[in-house]
Amino acid sequence: MKDINWIDLFNSLFFIYACFLLGIYIFNAVLSILELRKYTSKNKYVDYKSMLSFQKLPSVSVIAPAYNEEKTIIDNIECLLSLLYEDFEIIIVNDGSTDNTLDKIIRHFNLVKVNKAYELEIECSPIKTIYQSKNPAYYNLVVVDKINGGKADSLNAGVNISEKDLFLAIDVDCIIESDAILKMVKPFIDDNKRVVIASGGVIRIANSSKISEGRIVEVKYPRNFWAKFQVLEYFRAFTLGRMAWSKLNGLLIISGAFGLFDRKRVIHAGGYDKDSVGEDLELVVRLRRYMHEVEKKEYRVAFIPDPLCWTEVPESYRVLARQRNRWTRGAIDTIIKHRKMFLNPKYGLIGMMSFPNWVLFEWLGPIIQSIGLIYFVFLLIFGLVNYQVFLTLLIFLLSFSVMYSLFAIFFEAYTFNKYKGVSYLTQAISFIFLEMFIYQPLNMFFSLTGHIDFYFRKEDKNKWGDMTRKGFAKFN
């Protein structure tokens, strides 16, 4: 024991961890290229609208929980009603809003109370009233008024009321592309080897974009400082991250803002976890567990790289901090609940790769990074820093980060090219550099606060936190 050089040992551990992380990023990028090329090549000439006359398609319920959304709810529902699909219903779950959300919907859509019978297949807070419209044009709109219970609880209520094969869980304030359901349903009918249990889609940022009648009419790069960072982050996460995990069938998360699920399987797996603030991640992990433990069938979670859903991201430091804190608490909660899967070969690639990846880089990542930072300060104080090595490692990390982010921007331009113009490109590239010194350290800090809240402030553990939204700019 006497001979151990602790400094060397720590240095090696941090170095190995960083190399491992970088290796995974490179691996993800390569897999994403392959998968994206395959997807675009396969679907270039697909006429999705032809699906409207298909004889055998699963029916879909669009479930949208709403809490104090009076400003935008009518536009949002109008947007959902104009989605293209043959057999679908829209279920708006009013989660005990304290403003005029429900009144506005009732008046605008001419709703009346109905005695709709349903089976309570998964647990949810009591449902007060169910409304349907007297106007035949809104025959597929159902509004559920229930006691406040949170997003997961509202989704559970929607799943209970739903009578369709699949359900699309969305955030009511998101803007969904009109052919979104068609594109999301396709994986469910074009795989005859594996059962598709869910499909996720890409979320893009719509802050500053022009909206008219619940539709995006002009995509604009956000003007807000914080939103600009998040554009880059979403490019990397969706285009390079989730696409790669989807290729491996190891995707563990489908965004809560936009995900299509097999309703029966979700019910059998127990529905959304009401006590989790990361209900989207938790549900996918539990569904996968259910498939491995109960059904034991070949299955997959599909991912559609087309940008089908547009959302408004936090524009202030405080709201961003709350959101990231909540994401961290959600991830920790899910990891602890399903720790059995960690390095468990019974769960195949999920147990051996995806889950350990979450544990090592999502859960432990911020902690290890913080320890690294403290360790570096310690070395500085005691004059143990080899500046030549330090500079080399710093350039190593920075050059990798720049290359990776540039690659994400390139891929976006190469595939879907939603944001356009020289101004966008210049800003996006310059924000790569700013991101490394402002946004990434802050994100690490928000994650750490999430850890602290989870372990030490038990009362804050399951708090959702207020998510103030500015609302999209209207365009007439």
Partner 1 sequence: MKTLIIYIRYWLLRIFYISLAIFILFGSYYYANPEITIGNYIIHNPLYANLENIPAWLYAVDYFIFIFLVGIVLVFSWILYYNANKRHKEKTNKQYMHLFVTNLFSYLFMVEKFTEKEKKAKLKTLKKALRSDHARRLFINTLRQIHAQTIGPVSDKTLRLMRSVKYDDLIRSYINSPYLRHKIFALKVISDFKLEGFEKRILKLAKRRNNVLRSEAIVTLLNLKVYEDLKFIEKLKTTLTLWDINIIVKTVQELNIKNIDYKSLIISDYPNVSMLGIMLAKFNKQYIFKDLILTRIGDSDGLLNEEAFLALTALAESKDDYKYLVDNFDVATEKAQLEIIRTVANSAEQEEAVKFLNWVVENKHHKQKIEALTKLLDLDLDSINRFKKSENKLIRKSCLQILDINI
Residues at the interface with partner 1 (CB under 8 A): 15, 41-46, 50-51, 53-57, 114-119, 132, 163, 186, 188-192, 389, 392-393, 395-396, 399-400, 402-403, 406-407, 409-410, 413-414, 417, 422, 425, 429
Nearest approach in angstroms of CB 407 to partner 1 is 5
Nearest approach in angstroms of CB 19 to partner 1 is 9
Q: Which is nearer to partner 1, 20 or 414 (CB)?
A: 414
CB 202 within 8 A of CB 237: no
Q: Is 256 exposed, middle or buried (0-12, 13-18, 19+ CB in 10 A)?
A: buried
Nearest approach in angstroms of CB 402 to partner 1 is 6
What sign does the CA torsion over 11, 376, 323, 27 have? negative
Q: Which is nearer to partner 1, 18 or 448 (CB)?
A: 18
Can you state the percent helix, strand and coil of the chain, rounding each to 5? 55, 15, 30
Q: Which is nearer to partner 1, 363 or 407 (CB)?
A: 407
Nearest approach in angstroms of CB 111 to partner 1 is 12
Nearest approach in angstroms of CB 248 to partner 1 is 20
Vertex 457: Cα angle to 456 and 459 (nearest 5): 145
Nearest approach in angstroms of CB 410 to partner 1 is 5
Sequential DSSP letters for 158-193: HHHH--SSEEEEE-TTSEE-TTHHHHHHHHHHS-SS
Residue 251 structure tokens: 């995707």
Q: Which is nearer to partner 1, 385 or 402 (CB)?
A: 402
Q: Which is nearer to partner 1, 100 or 129 (CB)?
A: 129
Q: Which is nearer to partner 1, 290 or 400 (CB)?
A: 400
What sign does the CA torsion over 75, 79, 80, 81 have? positive
Sequential DSSP letters for 220-265: ----SHHHHHHHHHHIIIIIIIIHHHHHTT------TTEEEEEHHH
DSSP state of 462: T
Q: Which is nearer to partner 1, 402 or 438 (CB)?
A: 402
Q: Which is nearer to partner 1, 110 or 399 (CB)?
A: 399
CB 162 within 8 A of CB 267: no
Q: Is 107 exposed, middle or buried (0-12, 13-18, 19+ CB in 10 A)?
A: exposed
Q: Whole-angstrom Cα distance, residue 25 to residue 6?
A: 29
Nearest approach in angstroms of CB 289 to partner 1 is 23
Q: Which is nearer to partner 1, 50 or 476 (CB)?
A: 50
Q: Which is nearer to partner 1, 50 or 98 (CB)?
A: 50
Cα–Cα nearest to 59, from 227, 202, 263, 240:
263
Please state whether beta strands 258-262 and 195-205 pair in parallel, antiparallel, or not at all (unpaired): antiparallel
